[in-house]
Amino acid sequence: MDFTPTFQITPSIANRLLEIERNKEAINFLPITAKVIASLRETARLMTTHYSTQIEGNALTEEEVKQVVMGTSGFPGRERDEREVRNYFVALEYVEEQLRQNVALSEKLIQSIHAIAYNGIKKTSPYRDGQNVIKDGITRTIVYMPPEAHDVAPMMKALAKWINQQIINQELPVPIIAALAHYQFATIHPYYDGNGRTARLVTTFILHKTGYGMKGIYSLEEYYAKNLQGYYNALTVGGSHNYYFGRSEADITPFLEYFIEGMAIAFQRVREKALNYEETEITSVLQLQTERLRELRPQQRQVLSLFQKSKEVNVQEIAIHLGINHRSVNGFIKKWLEQNFIQIENTSKKARTYTLGKEWEQVVLGKKDNDLN
């Protein structure tokens, strides 16, 4: 079964693909500290959870989602919303765990993702055993009628195989593969409920698996939630609401344009956010350095420049650098050792050398106190 539907790489899609690649490379080479990455990743997880569940009608705010995930608060009367948020966050962690273990995409993995995201249980969810329909929330008219239940299992098996083959062949750009996988999953609609959440988590898995994880610091779900009607419109293709009457052969270029635009915007935003974090971090470090340097005597500040050139120095080098005699240097060294400004590296009396104390070494390297551990 071929899951590559009719589509065109329009100039808009081509340009967006180039934007995605530029931002991807820029982010991968940004000198972001581990602390900044961890902070951005946690923010992205919370945003992904908030917006993905919001798409399904969850009413919790971003701050409330954070409280639920952290277990710091409950919201009486909104237990269902809380449960959805917790389940999705756990499913997101499960996806990340599977990626770390280098697990391949499979039906079992997809079924496990659905089970956790929808039911909060770590087992596989069986596909639907009957027909379901998607109706307009206001008019209650049928918007889409997916494939019949007896076709779901073979189609899902073929879809998983197709995705893995596309990843191996690399004939299509990865964002296109992810978009097609998302579209086809939504088209098959293998479950009575929870299809959207699962489709987005599977898409996340594919992108991370193929090098588009961006250190886990971006969220596509924000774009979907803020362009929700566009999301639904992009998924509505073909001349009939019935899968068997044109949906499978329809031109899905509009959905690709929507999806690729979302990726490009998300990647650009996270690049800007990472740069802002880095600039803030640099400013904070410079402020810290300035404050700490005020604690030093003039001779200590002079010696810092010597240690920036060479990690280890001896008495003679310090004397030459400060323009004073050895006896005066020995007097300074005694005080500096007591203050932990410097420490002895080579203990030999004839070849004794000194390095900066650990704390001051970190200041010189531009690290904060809480980065020392």
Q: Is 76 exposed, middle or buried (0-12, 13-18, 19+ CB in 10 A)?
A: exposed
Mean pLDDT of 100-108: 94
**Residue 368 has what pLDDT?**
44
28's CB contacts (< 8 A; 6+ apart) are 214, 215
- CATH class belonging to 11-280: mainly alpha
Going by the DSSP 8-state scheme, the letter that residue 370 receives in this structure is: G
Of the pLDDT bands very low, low, confident and very high (cuts 50, 70, 90), residue 67 is: very high
**Residue 357 has what pLDDT?**
85
What does the mean pLDDT of the chain come to?
86
Of the pLDDT bands very low, low, confident and very high (cuts 50, 70, 90), residue 369 is: very low
Q: Does the pLDDT at position 372 exceed 50? A: no
Of the pLDDT bands very low, low, confident and very high (cuts 50, 70, 90), residue 365 is: low
**Residue 107 has what pLDDT?**
96
Cβ atoms within 10 Å, residue 8: 11
In angstroms, the CA 347 to CA 50 distance is: 58
Q: Does the pLDDT at position 280 exceed 70? A: no
**Residue 180 has what pLDDT?**
94
User: What's the pLDDT tens digit per position in 182-238?
Assistant: 999 999 999 999 999 999 999 999 999 999 988 888 888 988 898 888 888 888 776
In angstroms, the CA 99 to CA 105 distance is: 10
User: What's the pLDDT tens digit per position in 80-94?
Assistant: 999 999 999 999 999
Domain ranges of the chain: 11-280, 295-371
In angstroms, the CA 201 to CA 187 distance is: 16
Please, which contacts does 298-302 make with residues 24 or more away whose CB atoms are closer than 8 Å? 299/332, 300/336, 300/341
pTM of whole model > 0.85?
Answer: no
**Residue 122 has what pLDDT?**
87
Residue with tokens 């390297």: 365
- Single-letter amino acid, residue 83: R
In angstroms, the CA 75 to CA 95 distance is: 27
Between 282 and 360, the higher pLDDT residue: 360
- Single-letter amino acid, residue 164: N
Fold of 295-371: Arc Repressor Mutant, subunit A (1.10.10)
**Residue 251 has what pLDDT?**
87
Mean pLDDT of 110-119: 96
345 by DSSP, 3-state: which?
Answer: strand
**Residue 213 has what pLDDT?**
87
In angstroms, the CA 191 to CA 264 distance is: 30
Cβ atoms within 10 Å, residue 140: 8
CA distances from 115 to 54, 84, 169, 196 (A): 19, 12, 30, 13
Between 4 and 45, the higher pLDDT residue: 45
User: What's the pLDDT tens digit per position in 6-48?
Assistant: 899 999 999 999 999 998 888 777 766 677 778 888 889 999 9
23's CB contacts (< 8 A; 6+ apart) are 264, 267, 268, 270, 271
Cβ atoms within 10 Å, residue 28: 12
Between 365 and 311, the higher pLDDT residue: 311
Q: Mutual orientation of helices 79-100 and 107-114 as an angle, nearest 10°?
A: 150
